[in-house]
Structures are given as structure tokens and as C-alpha cells.
Amino acid sequence: MKNIQDCYGINENGHLTLGGVDTVDMAKKYGTPLYLLDEDKIRRQCAIYKNALKKYFPEGSMPFYASKALSFVDIYKIVKDEGLGIDIVSSGELYTALAAGFDVTNACFHGNNKTDFDIEYGIKSGVGYIVVDSQEELCAVDEIAGKLGKEQKILLRITPGIDPHTLKAISTGRVDSKFGTPIIEGKAEQITKAALEKKNARLCGFHCHVGSQIFEPDPFIEASGVMLRFISDIKDKFGYETDVLNLGGGFAVKYLAEHAEVNIPEYIESIARNISSLCEKYSIKMPKIFMEPGRSIVAGAGVTLYTVGTRKEIPGFKNYISIDGGMPDNPRYALYQSPYTVLCANRANEAPDYKATVCGRCCESGDLIAEDIQVQKMDRGDTLAVLVTGAYNYSMASNYNRIPRAPIVLIKNGNDRLSVRRESFEDLIKNEVL
């Protein structure tokens, strides 16, 4: 269990710990379901990216935390403190970042269908880069920036046509992707030419993102190869020198003991070596490199705690352990059959000798967290922990079945602090016009 992430442990009472804090105590203090996050671990992950980009890429290169993985006010404060930029994907994320006092000149504003409102809000708020997805959006950004009397820096999102061999739902750089402009049939060249002619949108470079939960550096190496060839062609055709190449996010995280460890600095070094030799080959200046890690910054720092309700044995079929949460706080198994490590937090030192399916409390058979896994035999009142839930859990949570969203507690230097309150029943109806 400890070898999954360095922030987990088991104390003398046999209880699971996160960042040295007893998770069973946390469940008692704050109730369940509960998202626990190790702030120190998040900061360590930020530093790994910051240092590696600084070491291997030209000055001005930097990581932008992809906040779709986990967005709430305190996370932007932490990331700001660690000196990272942010990737935002909606006006809601932008609003939350601004509420945290984030300097959004260090932000990339994404989205395959930004509305005029989004574009105007982004420009007025001073976002550093709008990552333009299409010709229509390019025209809209130029026009709105002109109306506001501002010059807006942009990157063009290009689809390099790479298949990263991850889940189809989270693979985004393939040629048939809904994101960006493909290189095929001169499409990317056309949008670049159009961007260079704009008065209020200033082209600063290109962006690509191949997918998420990628274990090997090869798709990134392949994508950067395609992008540099494109950048070199653009230089030859239009005399335009690219200042920024944004390679997106996507490094995998270890959810299970049998998953391989992604060595982030090593992978970045191998990507950098390839980029530098290609820049030499094409005689182009090495652009500043941006990366947008989301999952690998926050996933490992998170644990979700639940209280076990019933245990149901259906002989010859399944043993169900029911918890007081489920797809409203973690829809990832229901959506992608994503694997998780589950254990009994109050008996973490005991052998996982019971085969069970962990199910949520929603009126829906697909409301599962894990199927047919080995865990400790748990009964009513036990605390069940799901590990590595820091990414795409809270940010994808819903109120399905009118279940209030769970709170977030941050652990720092062995101390706990409530960062996001549990939703109340009043919150559930607060937008209803009564």
C-alpha cells in the first residue's frame, strides 16, 4: 500500500495515515464521505515539475497546473505559492482562480467551445494565453479583444494525430478529436496564416495534448516531433519563429500496486533531449516549453473516506460492501471502469482476504467504486478508504440522488484544516425559486 504513493502509511493502531495523520480520526472529526488531501504531497509534485522544466528547457518554460483535475480556492493558492501557472477550461475555473487571488497572466484558457462570454471574461481578467481551438474562435478572440481595446496573446491548439493508447474517452490528440485543428490537409497551416494576420490576437505559439493517464514518454516524444516539424514548416513558409510550445498534460499516476511508477524528471529529460536534437536538425530556436499536468499533481495526495453500511453476500455471485458515498463523489468507475485501491482504514494492517464489490448508495446498479477486489472483510461502522482520489473526483462530483457534495480537508505538516465545507440540504435547494 505504501509503495503506491509516498504519503500513505499505517500507524501503531493499524490505521491508515495520510501525511502522517490518522485517517480514522479524520473520518470521526469531519464525518464521511470525506475527501482528504495531503497538501505537502501536492507541493512536492509541483516542485518536481517546476525543477525539471527549469533544468531541461529554456528560460520562461513552466508547468501550468491543469485545474480541471481539482478546482477549489485553496488549490489555486497552493499552486500559486509553488510558482506554477494554471490551465483553466471554463469561466467557472477562472472565477475560482481569481477568488484565490491567482495572477491569471500565468494562465492558459482552454476549451473546444468557448462562448463569447468566456472570451470576454478571459480577456477582461487579463488571462495570459487563450488557447484557440478553431477558426471561428480565432475570429471571435480577435474581434472581442479589439472591442475591448486589448491585445490578447494566443496559442493555437493543434491535433498532432497521435494515439496514446489510453482510454478512448481521455485520448484527445487523435486526428478525429473534437479538440484543436488537425495538421492534415493544411488545416493547421491555414489557421496559423489567419492568426498571423490578426491585429488584436497575437500568436505566441502552439499547443497540443495527446491524452491522460499515459505511462510511457513515447506519445509525448512523438507529439513533440510532429509539432516541431510543423513549427519548422511554419518558419519556412511564413518566417514565423514560435515562442511557446505547450505539450499539454497526461503523465500517468499509480492507482494500483501493480502499476508502473512514472519517473517525471526522467521522462521530461527524454522529451527534452528529443526536442533539442530536433530543433538543431530543423535549425529552429528551441521554444519555451509549457506543460499542463493535472492528475499527476493532485491524484496521489487524495484519499476518500467512507463509512461502511451493509455487507451483502450473494453466494456464487458477489459480495457487496455498501458505502455512504459512491458515484456522486467518484464517478470514475461508473464512467471508465477506472481501477482503485481500496482498504479498511481502521484495520489497514490486516490481510485483504475477502473478495468484494464496493458499491455506492445511489439508485443505480452501475454505482460502483471497484468490482471483485481483495479487501479486508468490512462491516457496518468500518471506515473504508479509496486511495489516489485527488484528481477528477471532487471536480467531477455531482448531486445525483440529492446527495450533498463531500467536504475537503487539507493535511499540512501533520495538521488538518477544513478547506471546503460539506454541502447542506439548504445548499441543495438554494437556486430554486420558491
Q: Which is nearer to ligand LLP, 213 or 307 (CB)?
A: 213
Spatial neighbors of 313 by CB under 8 A, at least 6 apart, are 319, 320
CB of 276: closest distance to ligand LLP in angstroms? 23
Kindly tell me which of 293 and 326 has the beta carbon lying closer to ligand LLP: 293
| CA 412 remoteness from chain centre | 21
> Degrees (nearest 5) of the Cα angle 273, 278, 279?
100
Listed in sequence order, the residues at least 6 apart from 244 whose beta carbon sits closer than 8 Å to its beta carbon are 129, 155, 204, 205, 206, 287, 288, 289, 290
- Maximum separation of any 2 CA atoms in the chain, in Å: 71
Interface residues toward ligand LLP, by CB under 6 A: 66, 68-69, 87, 110, 170, 172, 209, 212-213, 248-250, 292-296, 332, 392
* Least distance (Å) between residue 330 CB and ligand LLP: 9
Compare residues 298 and 348 and give the one whose CB is closer to ligand LLP.
298
CA dihedral sign, ordered 103, 421, 70, 120:
negative
What's the min distance (Å) between Cβ of 248 and ligand LLP? 4
Helix, strand, coil share (%) of the chain residues, nearest 5 = 35, 25, 40
Q: By C-beta, is 192 or 212 nearer to ligand LLP?
A: 212
Residue among 7, 46, 204, 363 flagged as catalytic: 363
**Cell numbers at 345, concatenated:** 482504514
Least distance CB 335 / ligand LLP (angstroms)? 7
Nearer to ligand LLP, 293 or 360 (CB): 293
d(CA 36, CA 42): 12
CB of 45 to ligand LLP, least distance (A): 11
Where would I find the H helices in 57-186?
A: 73-81, 91-99, 116-125, 135-147
Cell of 388: 489516489
User: To the nearest whole angstrom, how small is the minimum distance from the Cβ of residue 396 to ligand LLP?
Assistant: 6
> Which residue, 31 or 339, is less far from ligand LLP as judged by CB?
339
**CB of 157 or CB of 347, closer to ligand LLP:** 157
Q: Is 418 helix (H, G, I), strand (E, B) or coil?
A: strand
Distances (CA, A) of 49 to 67, 93, 205, 388, 433: 15, 22, 21, 19, 46
Q: Does residue 363 have an active-site annotation?
A: yes
**Count of beta carbons in the 10 Å neighbourhood of residue 398:** 12
Place of cell 478508504: 385
State the minimum distance, in angstroms, from the CB of residue 167 to ligand LLP. 7
Amino acid identity of residue 298, one-letter, is: V
Q: Which residues are catalytic?
A: 363
